């Protein structure tokens, strides 16, 4: 089991410098940043900064998308970060959620997402590639053959198929074991069907972790099911609620989910949280005592999850990292 943290965009730089070193020392192997350059800051300079204060930790966006940056500019950014960190750079990739919606743009199609993985991998490696907006084929003379790991965020059946066929890993923004297993299995099946060796395929469950009595925990993490609700709603829409193979924990989720305020994306004071039940909050996150965390993480591991990635959006970042370093991560090594 790998452990990751995902940074809030508004963590102060000097606090971030200390947090990544603390996290690396505590046993976390990955540090992810939201890539949503309007709501928060452009995160790549922060990754570059944090790389200077760590030695083994890997960094990357969770998630970027194919529509914010020119593809060669994106690939050059990724390749540069990989190069100056001695290869400690992955990307998480989605179709584009808050980062594009807040600009009034649309998410990318899955075909475009798949093409992006191909072009970006080639360019970062040093191969020639051509893409839509650019009249000339492009090649980086400075590339050194780095193979960029790409994790694809997916919920719906087609996106899961993409993730399994073109991704090195799958990002699931939820820590509900049954749902993780059901979604992960679909990605793996798609990969196998395409003839890939899926034995090293990685599955990340990204969700908040919080310590304390359940009331406190639920209050602190209620924003999370609300935030991922739009994605889950997509699933329900795509699969239909009547299908038999859908986990009960998923169908239990929201009938009457209402609008969502993107200007408060990822914040705990996001309104429209009323429809979230206690069961949903507990199911989606990792809450309670250290023993509760360990128990839930064992279930996630059994469900095929290879990395638990903590969304550090509830404050108490230092305390959560310290507690994981002291009592949780050692239980999985």
Residues that bind a copy of itself (CB under 8 A): 9-10, 12-15, 17-19, 21-22, 24-25, 37-49, 51-53, 55, 68-70, 72-73, 76-77, 79-81, 83-84, 102-105, 134-136, 138-142, 263, 315-319, 321-323, 326
State the pairing for strand pair 150-153/91-93.
Answer: parallel
Pairwise CA distance, residues 157 & 38, whole Å: 30
Pairwise CA distance, residues 318 & 320, whole Å: 6
Q: Which is nearer to a copy of itself, 38 or 273 (CB)?
A: 38
Please tell me the distance from the alpha carbon of residue 122 to that of residue 147, in angstroms, as a whole number: 9
In terms of C-beta density within 10 A (0-12 exposed, 13-18 middle, 19 or more buried), how is residue 272 classed? Answer: middle
Residue 1 or 322: the one with the smaller Cβ distance to a copy of itself is 322
Q: How far is the CB of 237 from a copy of itself (least distance, A)?
A: 25
Least Å from the CB of residue 202 to a copy of itself: 24
Min dist CB 236 to a copy of itself, Å, is: 28
Question: Closer CB to a copy of itself, residue 142 or residue 255?
Answer: 142
Q: Which is nearer to a copy of itself, 90 or 176 (CB)?
A: 90
At closest approach, how far in Å is the CB of 77 from a copy of itself?
A: 4
Q: Record the tokens describing residue 69, joined without a space.
A: 């940056």
The rounded radius of gyration (Å) of the Cα atoms in the chain is 19
Q: Which is nearer to a copy of itself, 64 or 161 (CB)?
A: 64
Closest CA to 38 of 129, 87, 104: 104
Could you give the CA distance from residue 123 to residue 274 in angstroms, rounded to a whole number? 46
Smallest distance, a copy of itself to C-beta of residue 35, A: 10
Peptide bond into 63 cis (omega under 30): yes
Structure tokens at 138: 């492009």
State the nearest-atom distance from the C-beta of 25 to a copy of itself, in Å. 5
What single string gives the DSSP state of each residue in 219-247?
HHHTHHHHHHHHHHHHHHHHH-TT-TTS-
Residue 48 or 246 with smaller CB distance to a copy of itself = 48
């Amino acid at each position: 089991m790998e452990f990751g943290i995902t940074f809030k965009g508004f963590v102060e730089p000097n606090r971030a410098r200390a947090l990544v070193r603390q996290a690396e020392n505590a046993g976390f192997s990955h540090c992810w940043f939201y890539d949503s350059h309007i709501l928060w800051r452009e995160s790549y300079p922060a990754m570059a900064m944090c790389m200077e204060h760590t030695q083994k930790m890997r960094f990357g966006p969770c998630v970027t998308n194919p529509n914010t940056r020119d593809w060669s500019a994106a690939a050059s950014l990724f390749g540069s970060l990989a190069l100056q960190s001695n290869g400690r750079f992955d990307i998480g990739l989605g179709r584009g959620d808050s980062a594009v919606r807040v600009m009034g743009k649309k998410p990318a199609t899955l075909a475009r997402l798949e093409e992006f993985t191909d072009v970006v991998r080639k360019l970062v490696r040093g191969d020639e590639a051509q893409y839509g907006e650019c009249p000339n084929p492009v090649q980086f003379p400075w590339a050194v053959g780095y193979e960029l790991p790409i994790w694809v965020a997916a919920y719906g059946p087609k996106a899961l198929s993409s993730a399994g066929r073109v991704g090195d890993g799958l990002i699931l923004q939820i820590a509900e074991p049954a749902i993780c297993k059901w979604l992960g299995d679909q990605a793996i099946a798609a990969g196998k069907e395409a003839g890939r060796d899926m034995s090293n395929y990685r599955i990340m469950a990204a969700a908040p972790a919080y310590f304390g009595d359940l009331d406190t925990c639920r209050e602190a993490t209620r924003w999370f099911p609300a935030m991922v609700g739009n994605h889950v709603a997509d699933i329900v829409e795509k699969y239909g609620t009547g299908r038999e193979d859908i986990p009960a924990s998923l169908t239990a989720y929201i009938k009457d989910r209402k609008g969502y305020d993107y200007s408060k994306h990822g914040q705990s004071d996001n309104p429209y949280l009323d429809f979230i039940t206690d069961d949903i909050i507990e199911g989606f996150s990792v809450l309670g005592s250290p023993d509760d965390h360990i128990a839930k993480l064992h279930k996630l591991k059994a469900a095929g999850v290879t990395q638990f990635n903590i969304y550090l959006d509830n404050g108490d970042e230092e305390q959560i990292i310290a507690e994981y370093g002291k009592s949780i991560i050692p239980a999985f090594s």
